[in-house]
Chain A
Amino acid sequence: MTSMYAILAVILFTIGLIGFLIRRNALVIFMCVELMLNAANLLFVAFSSHYGILDGQMAAFFVMVVAAAEVVIGLSIIVMISRARRSTSVDDEILLKG
């Protein structure tokens, strides 16, 4: 049964990855990152239940806290960028070109 949770987590993670790679809106990309984090959390909880140890839940808890902090910073950066560029697309201004 645990393998089902694992497969669900992997599928969610992959969806997040695909979204991360094909979407251009920085906000959506950020949401995809959250999705990937959630997939990882699911795996933590599933294994915690599988082995009967609470440490997995602990890890998921820390992931949530860190994700919250990350969202605060990431979103304020996005707000700044959208203020300066009037856009949240990651393709708009190519400044990383070699």
Chain B
Amino acid sequence: MLEVYTSIANTGLFPYAWLMVVIPAAVAGLLLICGKVTNSFGHFIATLAPIASFTFAVIYFVELLGYPEMERAVNLDFYTWIAAGSWQIDIGMLIDPLSILFVLLITGVGSIIHIYSIGYMAHDPNRRRFFAYLNLFIAAMLILVLANNYLVLFIGWEGVGLASYLLISFWQERPSAAAAGKKAFVMNRVGDLGLLMAAFTMLAMFSSTSFADVHAGAPSLSVGWATFIGFMLLLAACGKSAQVPLQAWLLDAMEGPTPVSALIHAATMVTAGVYLVVRAGVIFEQAPAAQLAVAIVGTVTLLVGAWIGCSKDDIKKVLAGSTMSQIGYMMLAAGIGPAGYAFAIFHLLTHGFFKANMFLGAGSVMHGMNDDVNMRHYGALRKLMPITFITFGIGYLAIIGFPFFAGFYSKDHIIEAAFHAQPALGVLALIGAGVTAFYMTRLMIMTFTSSSRWRKEVHPHESPAVMWIPLVLLAIGSLIGGMVLNGWIGSWLSSIGAETPEHMTWLPEITVIGGITFAVVVLGAVLAWLVFGRKPVPDEAPEKVSIFTTIGRNDLFGDAVNDYLVVKPASLLSRGVALTDEKGIDPATEGTGWLVQAIGDKVRLIQNGYVRTYGLTLAIGVVLIGLALVLSRLV
């Protein structure tokens, strides 16, 4: 993946690319610093900021389209950040086909979610702060994807982590939200360590962290080091994208407001890991072991996420499990190698649409149900919330891969590519597709059809226009996104190293695997209908359930595993250290203190408070010094 930078960096609007980042960052700063003054209009300017960035992104996208395929990479260096010895790290941007797609997704979906949030957060006393954090997130995420070297990418990486923390624990008065934010922050740090280690290793190997230098030097890198960097990048990706084994935080992250779950924990931030793996593709090609690990992690996660999705009653947690699962697909695709990059990004984009769509739909449902998230309290909402139902239904069809909907194109490509690369992974991905259909059908049945099981005080109603218009926009994306992108994305991404088959058009090719996939999906959906659709859904979650459900309800005991593998040993170690401190170090220091105190008790008597005694001490001191001087002369 050798980037050929064009010389167009200083022409047109490209020198102003930094505005894309600065506008939302400045608005965030304004809202946070000016405080209550901006309460009345803060959300409007905060919504305008991502729209402005989106406008820039569209302009750059169009400009890039006008250049030859292999010259669509604009490198902009703004500032020398660190210059030490032979190292030079610049703060700069790289606008190429990969990053511009991300920018479009982030600012596009971000703008829609900002608009939605105006309605969703209308009654929250801290709406201004919420919008400030959202803009902070947009700015950080844009830094992440626009960075032209790994250290600047790390700034954005940490920035989105911070924004995610602030937004998950946005309702900080709830202990569960505060704890969830902390959990996400701490688990993300584990991944961040991986990214830092990778960046340090790159500095050691290439004396630079810029994409250009690293990717130019990667082919000559030894396999051992490449594998190390690859695994460290995978660790980073696992942390940010909630992949096994660092998946546990994403489910708790649903404590945040729903627009946050849609934007950060579904559409954009959690896909940063996929971006990282695709961006560092050259390194993974040098390290087959790391590449295989990426594919395996993706496959395991797609099954784990699907499993969790099947067993949860909380609508947001089902969607969170589904997000993990879908990102697992992307990681699987990214782990396949150049043949899968385009599919990974393709699925990432379509997923961004349909998952944001469904999360916002879930938010709309919750809005009508007094913020109840338990699907067992829903039911029969399709009549009362027609727009939410239709848009959610489009998202549903997109995610299960119903023909001609967005997910159909992207997911089928991944499954097919997996079969070509490694049949075992393909079979597992296929099973995952079936399970996806199963749990999404369950969600649809429990929420929109079946009989109503509303609580007494709940009066479901359709959400206001400011909330359903974004739903419609995203539903359109979910509907046609696949068709539009299918014939085009492969060639668009070819300049960053993606190898794509030639046969991609808007009309899907009928293949054996495609047929089997469709059959499996239908099977999953029908199975769900057989299980849940024919008899009334129990009002309370049944106690006697299969072992699989129990495991799924407990997030596959992810917390317990973390407890046994990390927390318990760590607390044992710290208890040992504490014991050493208590029995060994404390007596020593306290003994010293006691000794000093005992001496002090005696010496204290000299300080009797009489000035004359102090004067006498002075005189004696003078005499002694004089004697010492005299004696030193004599000796």
Are chains A and B touching in the complex at the 8 Å CB cutoff? yes
Contacting residues, chain A, for B614 (C-beta < 8 A): 96
Q: Pick the contact of B609: A17, A20, A22, A94 (CB < 8 A).
A: A94
Say whether A90 contacts B607, CB under 8 Å. no
Contacting residues, chain A, for B616 (C-beta < 8 A): 21
Knowing A17-B619, A21-B616, A21-B619 touch, does A97 contact B611 (C-beta < 8 A)?
Answer: no
Q: Which residue of B lies closest to A93 (CB)?
A: B609
Q: Pick the contact of A21: B604, B606, B608, B615 (CB < 8 A).
A: B615
List 8 A-B pairs, minimum CB-CB distance, nearest first. Answer: A98-B607, A97-B609, A94-B609, A96-B609, A90-B611, A98-B604, A21-B616, A21-B615
Contacting residues, chain A, for B612 (C-beta < 8 A): 21-22, 24, 90-91
Q: Which residue of B lies closest to A97 (CB)?
A: B609
Q: In the bound complex, how far is the Cα of B619 from the Cα of A64, in angstroms? A: 23
Q: In the bound complex, how far is the Cα of B609 from the Cα of A95, in angstroms? A: 6
Interface contacts beyond A91-B611, A91-B612: sample of 17 additional A-B pairs, CB < 8 Å, sorted by A: A20-B615, A21-B612, A21-B615, A21-B616, A90-B611, A90-B612, A94-B608, A94-B609, A94-B610, A95-B609, A96-B607, A96-B609, A96-B614, A97-B608, A98-B604, A98-B606, A98-B609
> In angstroms, how far is the closest chain B Cβ from the Cβ of A55?
25
Q: In the bound complex, how far is the Cα of B77 from the Cα of A54, in angstroms? A: 76
> In angstroms, how far is the closest chain A Cβ from the Cβ of B618?
9
A54-98 CB contact bits vs B (8 Å, 1 = yes)? Answer: 000000000000000000000000000000000000110011111
Hey, which bits of chain A sit against chain B, CB under 8 A?
17, 20-22, 24, 90-91, 94-98
Contacting residues, chain A, for B607 (C-beta < 8 A): 96-98
> In angstroms, how far is the closest chain B Cβ from the Cβ of A89?
10
Say whether A96 contacts B619, CB under 8 Å. no
Q: In the bound complex, how far is the Cα of B612 from the Cα of A61, in angstroms? A: 30
Q: Which residue of B lies closest to A23 (CB)?
A: B612
Say whether B610 contacts A91, CB under 8 Å. yes
A-B contact pairs, 13 of them (CB 8 A): A20-B615, A21-B616, A21-B619, A22-B612, A24-B612, A90-B611, A90-B612, A94-B608, A94-B610, A95-B609, A96-B609, A97-B609, A98-B607
Hey, which bits of chain B sit against chain A, CB under 8 A?
604, 606-612, 614-616, 619
Q: In the bound complex, how far is the Cα of B616 from the Cα of A97, in angstroms? A: 15
Q: In the bound complex, how far is the Cα of B614 from the Cα of A24, in angstroms? A: 13
Contacting residues, chain A, for B608 (C-beta < 8 A): 94, 97
Q: In the bound complex, how far is the Cα of B609 from the Cα of A90, in angstroms? A: 10
Q: Which residue of A lies closest to B611 (CB)?
A: A90
> In angstroms, how far is the closest chain A Cβ from the Cβ of B244?
65
Contacting residues, chain B, for A98 (C-beta < 8 A): 604, 606-607, 609
Q: In the bound complex, how far is the Cα of B616 from the Cα of A95, in angstroms? A: 18
Q: In the bound complex, how far is the Cα of B620 from the Cα of A17, in angstroms? A: 11
Q: In the bound complex, how far is the Cα of B559 from the Cα of A36, in angstroms? A: 82
Q: In the bound complex, how far is the Cα of B614 from the Cα of A95, in angstroms? A: 13
Q: In the bound complex, how far is the Cα of B611 from the Cα of A95, in angstroms? A: 10
Contacting residues, chain B, for A22 (C-beta < 8 A): 612
> In angstroms, how far is the closest chain A Cβ from the Cβ of B614?
7
Q: In the bound complex, how far is the Cα of B604 from the Cα of A96, in angstroms? A: 12
Q: In the bound complex, how far is the Cα of B606 from the Cα of A29, in angstroms? A: 22
Q: Which residue of A lies closest to B616 (CB)?
A: A21
Q: In the bound complex, how far is the Cα of B593 from the Cα of A49, in angstroms? A: 59
Contacting residues, chain B, for A24 (C-beta < 8 A): 612
Contacting residues, chain A, for B610 (C-beta < 8 A): 90-91, 94, 96
Q: Which residue of A lies closest to B615 (CB)?
A: A21
Contacting residues, chain B, for A96 (C-beta < 8 A): 607, 609-611, 614
Q: Which residue of B lies closest to A18 (CB)?
A: B619
> In angstroms, how far is the closest chain B Cβ from the Cβ of A12?
16
Q: In the bound complex, how far is the Cα of B608 from the Cα of A98, in angstroms? A: 7
Q: In the bound complex, how far is the Cα of B610 from the Cα of A17, in angstroms? A: 16
Contacting residues, chain B, for A94 (C-beta < 8 A): 608-610
> In angstroms, how far is the closest chain A Cβ from the Cβ of B517?
87
Contacting residues, chain A, for B611 (C-beta < 8 A): 90-91, 96
Q: In the bound complex, how far is the Cα of B616 from the Cα of A20, in angstroms? A: 9
> In angstroms, how far is the closest chain A Cβ from the Cβ of B608?
6
Q: In the bound complex, how far is the Cα of B615 from the Cα of A53, in angstroms? A: 35
Q: Which residue of A lies closest to B610 (CB)?
A: A91
Q: In the bound complex, how far is the Cα of B283 from the Cα of A58, in angstroms? A: 86
Q: Which residue of A lies closest to B608 (CB)?
A: A97
> In angstroms, how far is the closest chain B Cβ from the Cβ of A92?
10
> In angstroms, how far is the closest chain B Cβ from the Cβ of A13?
11
Q: In the bound complex, how far is the Cα of B612 from the Cα of A21, in angstroms? A: 5
> In angstroms, how far is the closest chain B Cβ from the Cβ of A3?
19
Q: In the bound complex, how far is the Cα of B614 from the Cα of A90, in angstroms? A: 12
Q: In the bound complex, how far is the Cα of B619 from the Cα of A24, in angstroms? A: 17
> In angstroms, how far is the closest chain A Cβ from the Cβ of B84?
53
Q: In the bound complex, how far is the Cα of B607 from the Cα of A95, in angstroms? A: 11
Q: In the bound complex, how far is the Cα of B607 from the Cα of A17, in angstroms? A: 21
> In angstroms, how far is the closest chain A Cβ from the Cβ of B566?
52
Q: Which of B610, B611, B614, B615 has the most CB of A within 10 A?
A: B611
> In angstroms, how far is the closest chain A Cβ from the Cβ of B426?
84
> In angstroms, how far is the closest chain B Cβ from the Cβ of A22?
7
Contacting residues, chain A, for B615 (C-beta < 8 A): 20-21
Q: Which residue of B lies closest to A98 (CB)?
A: B607
Contacting residues, chain A, for B619 (C-beta < 8 A): 17, 21
Contacting residues, chain B, for A90 (C-beta < 8 A): 610-612
> In angstroms, how far is the closest chain A Cβ from the Cβ of B189?
50
> In angstroms, how far is the closest chain A Cβ from the Cβ of B561?
60
Q: In the bound complex, how far is the Cα of B610 from the Cα of A97, in angstroms? A: 7
Q: In the bound complex, how far is the Cα of B603 from the Cα of A98, in angstroms? A: 9
Q: In the bound complex, how far is the Cα of B622 from the Cα of A21, in angstroms? A: 14
> In angstroms, how far is the closest chain A Cβ from the Cβ of B5?
74
Contacting residues, chain A, for B606 (C-beta < 8 A): 98
Q: In the bound complex, how far is the Cα of B607 from the Cα of A96, in angstroms? A: 8
> In angstroms, how far is the closest chain B Cβ from the Cβ of A78?
13
> In angstroms, how far is the closest chain B Cβ from the Cβ of A50?
23
> In angstroms, how far is the closest chain B Cβ from the Cβ of A49?
26
Q: In the bound complex, how far is the Cα of B606 from the Cα of A98, in angstroms? A: 8
Q: Which residue of B lies closest to A17 (CB)?
A: B619
Q: In the bound complex, how far is the Cα of B614 from the Cα of A91, in angstroms? A: 12
Q: In the bound complex, how far is the Cα of B612 from the Cα of A17, in angstroms? A: 11
Q: In the bound complex, how far is the Cα of B610 from the Cα of A95, in angstroms? A: 8
Q: In the bound complex, how far is the Cα of B612 from the Cα of A94, in angstroms? A: 11
Q: In the bound complex, how far is the Cα of B616 from the Cα of A17, in angstroms? A: 9
Q: In the bound complex, how far is the Cα of B622 from the Cα of A20, in angstroms? A: 15
Q: In the bound complex, how far is the Cα of B604 from the Cα of A97, in angstroms? A: 9
Q: In the bound complex, how far is the Cα of B453 from the Cα of A88, in angstroms? A: 92
